[in-house]
Structure 1
Amino acid sequence: MKENLSDLVTFLNVVKEGSFTRAAALAGISQSAVSQTVSNLEQRLQLKLLNRTTRSLTLTEAGEKLASLVGPAIEDINIGLEQLGQLRDTPSGTVRISADEYAIQQVLWPKLAPVIKQFPEINLDLITDYGLVDIAKGGFDAGVRRGGLIAKDMIAMQISCEHKMSVVVSPDCAKQYSPPEAPHDLVSLPCINLKLPTHGDHFPWVFTVDDHEYKIRVKGQVVVNGVNQVVQAALDGYGYGYGYGYAYVPEALVSKYIDSGQLISMLPSYCITYPGYYLYYTSRLQSSAAFKVILDALKYSK
């Protein structure tokens, strides 16, 4: 039988207080409302639950049985709701975020490493994925992608500035070939290709030519499936008189190597600048206090 939990709680309050008047005061309603609620419950159950006189209030056998069965269950429900409240109010539990390798390394980790140190009860799962993940189906609290790649039904919050791409090559490798003067020159030069799990072909290199996007497909001896491996392949051979080719990577990953002379920047005026990263999630109703802490830490201010 589907009973109204509110009515059962009212009945239990009468039993606990031993009085309709005190149960009414506890609930903040009238004594007559409490009495009517219990009477309605008895009518639906077709059982007398209380023996009521002007001087006493006692449980019938059915009333004792109901109180013993329902009372612990209601208490478990209250405890469960309190625990949910703690989940909302206390930063704890696991937050799962899907993002690409670069976003995790350059955006998420620098901002979130201090957070998990400050809140040891927060567990952080950062999962590398280059696809447009269905975060609800995948069990993620949020995803991170560049602006313009997020579905319109998602809540999105900017978490980084724009990021410029850079063509780089080791000095030793650069000496072996004529330097490129425009993006199409790279087609005839040895390049380090990136092949992502979510893409069937090598990742295209995108440039800006006369205010328009210009994509090229390059060739080379080396193909890897991570942007950090691209950087490492470009660096390897430095100082030994050889190199594995030109690389096209986010400038933030190679700026220190350009400054140190380990890599040379090429075609900077043609390299595209991508929009900043956004955190996206499915609802404005935040799932936990831990998620709110993560949101606050990732907010981007110019």
Structure 2
Amino acid sequence: MPALQRLLPEFPDIKVEIVIDYGLTDIVAERLDAGIRRGETVAQGMISVPIGAPLRMTVFGSPAYFAGREKPAKPQDLTAHSCIDLRLPTRGGLYAWEFGTARRQLRVRVEGQLVFNSTALILAAATAGLGLGYLTEQQVRPHLQDGRLVRVLADWCEPFPGHHLYYPSRRQQTPAFSLFVEALRHEG
């Protein structure tokens, strides 16, 4: 929002509409000017502008969840745990947890009693001791810092490209849109 705080007062005629959709929306078909996605999910043929720092995933659980349980030491150990799954709206399936080191990449299909399509519900359920969650470090950081959650498998969670603004390379951009892209570029 800092980019909007700087841009809008200076250019009161600019109008911005923000639509939040957790699916992989086709911005061309939906006639949207731009979208924001994690860097690795931007479609080919789009101009991509980094607008945030790299991200890092985090596996976490509450101290109550770990009471009497051994913490996982490697991703394969997750099979002995109740994991909270995320259902992706566009892909329809459950999100495979991704892990990696300099030498090895893994995608682990986890199981548990709970499946949500909301990261807020995953965070709440894990905080309540109902299983292990998997979200970005940014989403979980306050809960880790105050001890409500405990991080595990940190060595297996490598940083990856953060959020990118993307838009079609063939469409002529308005001056207002160009100003918006520049403001976001300087924020990231």
Q: Place the TM-score, normalised by the shorter chain, in its bin.
A: 0.7 to 0.9
* Candidates 162, 166, 179, aligned match of 1:280: 166
**1:73-102: CA deviation from partner (whole Å, max 9, x where unpaired):** xxxxxxxxxxxxxxxxxxxxxxxxxxxxxx
**1:46-70: CA deviation from partner (whole Å, max 9, x where unpaired):** xxxxxxxxxxxxxxxxxxxxxxxxx
- Partners of 1:189 and 1:206 in 2: CA distance: 16
Alignment-mate amino acid for residue 154 of structure 2: P
Alignment-mate amino acid for residue 154 of structure 1: M
- Partners of 2:113 and 2:3 in 1: CA distance: 36
> What is residue 104 of structure 2 aligned with on the other side?
212
TM-fit CA distance, 1:297? 1.8
May I ask how many residue pairs the two structures share in their alignment? 187
Moved more, 219-228 or 280-289: 280-289
TM-score, length of structure 1 as denominator length: 0.56
> What is residue 171 of structure 1 aligned with on the other side?
63
* Candidates 175, 184, 187, aligned match of 1:298: 184
SS in 2 for 1:298: helix
- CA 1:120 to 1:245, structure 2 compared with 1: closer, same or farther past 3 Å? farther
Higher relative contact order by CA 8 Å / sep ≥ 6: 1 or 2?
Answer: 2
Query: How large is the Cα RMSD of the aligned pairs?
Result: 2.2
SS in 2 for 1:279: strand
TM-fit CA distance, 1:116? 4.1
Alignment-mate amino acid for residue 174 of structure 2: S
> What is residue 181 of structure 1 aligned with on the other side?
73
- CA 1:114 to 1:187, structure 2 compared with 1: closer, same or farther past 3 Å? farther
Greater Rg over alpha carbons, structure:
1
**1:13-70: CA deviation from partner (whole Å, max 9, x where unpaired):** xxxxxxxxxxxxxxxxxxxxxxxxxxxxxxxxxxxxxxxxxxxxxxxxxxxxxxxxxx
Alignment-mate amino acid for residue 173 of structure 2: Q
> What is residue 157 of structure 1 aligned with on the other side?
49
The structure that is helix-richer by fraction is 1
Matches within 5 A, 1:34-113: 109=1, 111-113=3-5
Structure 1 unaligned residues grouped into runs of 5+ = 1-108, 238-242
- Note if 1:230 corresponds to 2:117: no
Structure 2 unaligned residues grouped into runs of 5+ = none
TM-fit CA distance, 1:146? 2.2
